[in-house]
Amino acid sequence: VEIVGAPIFNDTKNLKGAVLVFHDITELKRSEQTRKDFVANVSHELKTPMTSIRGFAETLLDGAMEEEELREQFLTIILNESQRLQTLVHDLLELSKLEHDELKLNRKLINISSLLDDILPIVSHQAQQKNITFNTTVKNTIEIVADPERLKQVFINLINNAINYTPNNGNISLSIETIDMFVRIIVSDNGIGISEESRDRIFERFYRVDKARSRNTGGTGLGLAIVKHIVEAHQGSIKVESKIDKGTTFCILLPKQ
Ligand code: ADP
């Protein structure tokens, strides 16, 4: 609590009392803490790949370059880590635009099927590599007024997560249908699931249930925060249901107009 006080005097200039104003600054402190945590997280996430890039480049220059096997191995690490940095910076900029309402949605009438034509070949290929069965159901022709690039991002992030957090030979399904004035998108997997405590937090920036696992699969911990912002920018809503070791289902409702 922050207290601001002022004395009150009577006509003869004697102290009569005081006014005290109590400001509840809990919310202010909390958002300050969130901002500090965010900066600390960003620094840490950027530092890790940078340290690694620098270290391997130095080792190469110190002589490892002479050995063909090491050279290839170290250059591959440098390439992967720089790709990681690129994804991270891209996601951070994206999130920052979304959070500052700077992102102007480029809304137009789009056909969901043609949108999926751009995405499905990529994600199906990723699913195949883990021998995951990927089913898509699009009921009738679905049209929606939305930003096509942002909507693609939503699909890609959710499906990538479903693939990353589902063991080999699993099942993933994407189903899209119109319900009254809304389009409902459901992405469901039979993967590792999310505990009840974590479920409320997965939309926070950098929150990951298992940091090592997320990093190994190329995750930045920002994907769902971005998804939620995009959905809300379209006046939609997102919900998640999950059971540990049974699977996870994300359900999005977007107004058609
Ligand atoms: P990440 O880049 O780590 O995947 P996200 O913001 O996309 O970041 O997701 C946050 C966390 O939520 C993930 O690290 C993971 O722990 C959990 N998560 C997201 N999707 C799923 C899913 N389909 N199944 C299980 N856990 C998930």
Distance (angstroms) between ligand 1 centre and the Cα of 204 equals: 11
d(CA 254, CA 91): 23
Q: Residue 223: its pLDDT value, please?
A: 95
Mutate-to-test residue for ligand 1 from 130, 159, 164, 195, highest number of ligand atoms within 8 A of CB: 164
Q: What is the pLDDT of residues 192-217, one digit of tens each?
A: 999 999 998 999 999 999 988 888 88
Distance (angstroms) between ligand 1 centre and the Cα of 70 equals: 33
Q: Which atom, in ligand 1's list, is nearest to the CA of 221?
A: 8
Q: Which atom, in ligand 1's list, is nearest to the CA of 209?
A: 16
Q: Residue 31: its pLDDT value, please?
A: 81
Contact (CB, 8 A) for 115 and 149:
no
Q: What is the pLDDT of residues 81-104, one digit of tens each?
A: 999 999 999 999 988 888 887 668
Stretch 223-243: mean pLDDT: 96
pLDDT band with cut points at 50, 70 and 90 for residue 11: confident
Q: What is the pLDDT of residues 156-191, one digit of tens each?
A: 999 999 999 999 999 999 999 999 999 999 999 999
Residues with CB under 6 A from ligand 1: 157, 161-162, 165, 189, 191-194, 202, 207-210, 214, 219-225, 248
Distance (angstroms) between ligand 1 centre and the Cα of 225 equals: 10
Q: Residue 32: its pLDDT value, please?
A: 83
